[in-house]
Amino acid sequence: MKKKVQFQGVVFGILLLACFGCAPKQKGLVYFNDFESLKGWGPAYLNKQPHHSGEYSNKLDSNSIYGVTFKLRFKDISELPVKKVKISFWVLKSNVNDSSKFVVDVTDKDKNKVFWIAKNIEELVKSPQKWVKVSLEFAFLKESITLPDNSISIYAWNLGKNDIYIDDEKTEFVI
């Protein structure tokens, strides 16, 4: 009986270790970050409280003014031209009057800026200390913006002195 229990424990351990490789890989047109697993995203200043879901959120404050950055070349997103990007995330602000933005930045292979736009978060978040879902959409009107070797970066930017928390960020590319 003791050998059977030990054998079952070994089998369970092997299955558990094998399952670490089973996590879904992000690819294609939709990317999600709940800040529980940061593979492909970075750098990050994570915080355990408050959070919208899971255990962590991305904290932005007067020292860490940029949120976790999603960065990828367009050729790694799609073989077809990307027409727009849709972004949704949950945000909690300690002071709704502080200036904060969500930025989409595109650079060419030589690191020259091809496209840059920022939307004010404070226009969308009217209640302090409350999680609010924000949805944004950015269109790429010229195909030269989304050339295969161009890189897109998407991030939150805190221009104020108070804390901002971002969680459950979803980025969807439309072709």
User: In this model, does residue 20 exceed pLDDT 90?
Assistant: no
- Rounded-to-integer distance, Cα 112 and Cα 87, Å: 24
**Global pTM?**
0.75
According to CATH, the topology of domain 27-174 is Jelly Rolls (2.60.120)
φ/ψ of 19, rounded to 5, equals -70, -25
Domain ranges of the chain: 27-174
Looking at residue 127, its pLDDT comes to 84
Looking at residue 25, its pLDDT comes to 39
Query: Do residues 134 and 154 touch, judged by C-beta distance below 8 A?
Result: no
Looking at residue 96, its pLDDT comes to 77
Q: Which range is least confidently modeled, 50-54, 77-81, 156-160?
A: 50-54
Helices (H), 20-129: none
Looking at residue 11, its pLDDT comes to 33
